[in-house]
Amino acid sequence: MRVLIVGAGGREHTLAFCVSKSPHAQKVYVSPGNPGMEDVTTTVTGEMSPPELVELVKKEHIELVVIGPEQPLVGGLADILRDEGVSVFGPGREGAKLEGSKAFAKEFMEEFSIPTAKVSFASNLDEARDIARDWNGLPVLKADGLAAGKGVFLPDSLEELESVLMDIFVHRKLGSSGECLLFEERLFGPEISLFMLRNETGFTYLGSARDHKRAYEGDLGPNTGGMGTISPAEELSPEEKVQAQQIMEKTHNGLLSRGIDYRGIIFIGAMRTEDGLKVLEYNVRFGDPETQSLLPRVDDDILLLLKKTAEGGKLPAGVSYRHGAGVCVCIASEGYPLKAASAQKVTLLPRDEGVLLFHAGTKKIDGELMAVGGRVFSLVAFADNVEQARSRVYKNIDNIQFAGMWYRKDI
Ligand code: AMP
Ligand code: GLY
How many Å apart are CA 285 and CA 66, to the nearest integer? 10
Task: Show pLDDT as tens, one digit a residue, over the chain (411 residues).
Answer: 999 999 999 999 999 999 999 999 999 999 999 999 987 877 888 889 999 999 999 999 999 999 999 999 999 999 999 999 999 999 999 999 999 999 999 999 999 999 999 999 999 999 999 999 999 889 999 988 887 767 889 999 999 999 999 988 888 887 776 678 999 999 999 999 999 999 999 999 999 999 999 999 999 998 899 999 999 999 999 999 999 999 999 999 999 999 999 999 999 999 999 999 999 999 999 999 999 999 999 999 999 999 999 999 999 999 999 999 999 999 999 999 999 899 999 999 999 999 999 999 999 999 999 999 899 999 999 999 999 999 999 999 999 999 999 999 999
Q: Are residues 244 and 261 in the same domain?
A: yes
Q: Are residues 244 and 332 in the same domain?
A: no
**Which ligand has the minimum distance to the alpha carbon of residue 285?**
2
Residue 289 CA, ligand 2 centroid: distance in Å = 7
Entry pTM: 0.95
Residue 219 CA, ligand 1 centroid: distance in Å = 14
Please report whether residue 410 resides in a domain: no
Q: Are residues 383 and 334 in the same domain?
A: yes
Residue 124 CA, ligand 2 centroid: distance in Å = 29
- 352 in Cβ contact with 395 (< 8 Å): yes
Q: Whose CA is nearest to atom 6 of ligand 1?
A: 152
> Which atom of ligand 2 lies closest to the CA of 269?
5
> Which of 267, 280, 286, 375 most suits a substitution to test ligand 2, by most atoms within 8 Å of the C-beta?
267
Name the domain boundary from 257, 286, 311.
311
Name the domain boundary from 159, 184, 209.
184
CA distances 367 to 35, 305, 345, 349, 372, Å, are 10, 36, 11, 18, 14
pLDDT for the residue numbered 21: 95
CATH number at residue 347: 3.90.600.10
Our CA angle for 394, 268, 278, nearest 5°, is 110
CATH number at residue 262: 3.30.470.20
CA distances 126 to 36, 121, 162, 177, Å, are 50, 12, 12, 18
Q: Are residues 259 and 361 in the same domain?
A: no
Residue 141 CA, ligand 1 centroid: distance in Å = 9
CATH number at residue 126: 3.30.1490.20
| Ordered alpha helix ranges (H), 84-192 | 93-100, 102-111, 125-134, 158-165
> Which atom of ligand 1 lies closest to the CA of 149?
2
Q: What is the largest CA-CA distance in the chain?
A: 60
How many Å apart are CA 152 and CA 141, to the nearest integer? 6
Q: Are residues 301 and 348 in the same domain?
A: no
Please report whether residue 96 resides in a domain: no
- 12 in Cβ contact with 33 (< 8 Å): yes
Q: Are residues 25 and 137 in the same domain?
A: no
Q: Are residues 73 and 178 in the same domain?
A: no
pLDDT for the residue numbered 41: 78
Tell me which residue of 90, 105, 115 sits closest to 282, measured CA to CA: 105
Q: Whose CA is nearest to atom 3 of ligand 2?
A: 287
CATH number at residue 14: 3.40.50.20
Please report whether residue 407 resides in a domain: no
Residue 12 CA, ligand 2 centroid: distance in Å = 13
Residue 61 CA, ligand 2 centroid: distance in Å = 32
Residue 88 CA, ligand 1 centroid: distance in Å = 30
**Which ligand has the minimum distance to the alpha carbon of residue 144?**
1
Q: Are residues 348 and 378 in the same domain?
A: yes
Please report whether residue 108 resides in a domain: no
Q: Are residues 31 and 132 in the same domain?
A: no
Please report whether residue 105 resides in a domain: no
Please report whether residue 280 resides in a domain: yes
| Residue 381 belongs to domain spanning | 325-401
Q: Whose CA is nearest to atom 7 of ligand 1?
A: 152
Instruction: List all residues whose CB is within 6 A of at least one atom of ligand 1.
Output: 117, 140, 142, 152, 184-187, 191, 213, 269, 280-281
Q: Are residues 306 and 356 in the same domain?
A: no
What is the number of domains present in the chain?
A: 4
Residue 382 CA, ligand 1 centroid: distance in Å = 28
Please report whether residue 150 resides in a domain: yes
Please report whether residue 159 resides in a domain: yes
- 309 in Cβ contact with 264 (< 8 Å): yes
**Which ligand has the minimum distance to the alpha carbon of residue 214?**
1
How many Å apart are CA 37 and CA 29, to the nearest integer? 10
Name the domain boundary from 184, 216, 235.
184
- 153 in Cβ contact with 140 (< 8 Å): yes
> Which atom of ligand 2 lies closest to the CA of 286?
4
Q: Whose CA is nearest to atom 4 of ligand 2?
A: 287
Q: Are residues 367 and 380 in the same domain?
A: yes
Q: Are residues 209 and 300 in the same domain?
A: yes
pLDDT for the residue numbered 129: 92
Q: Whose CA is nearest to atom 5 of ligand 2?
A: 287
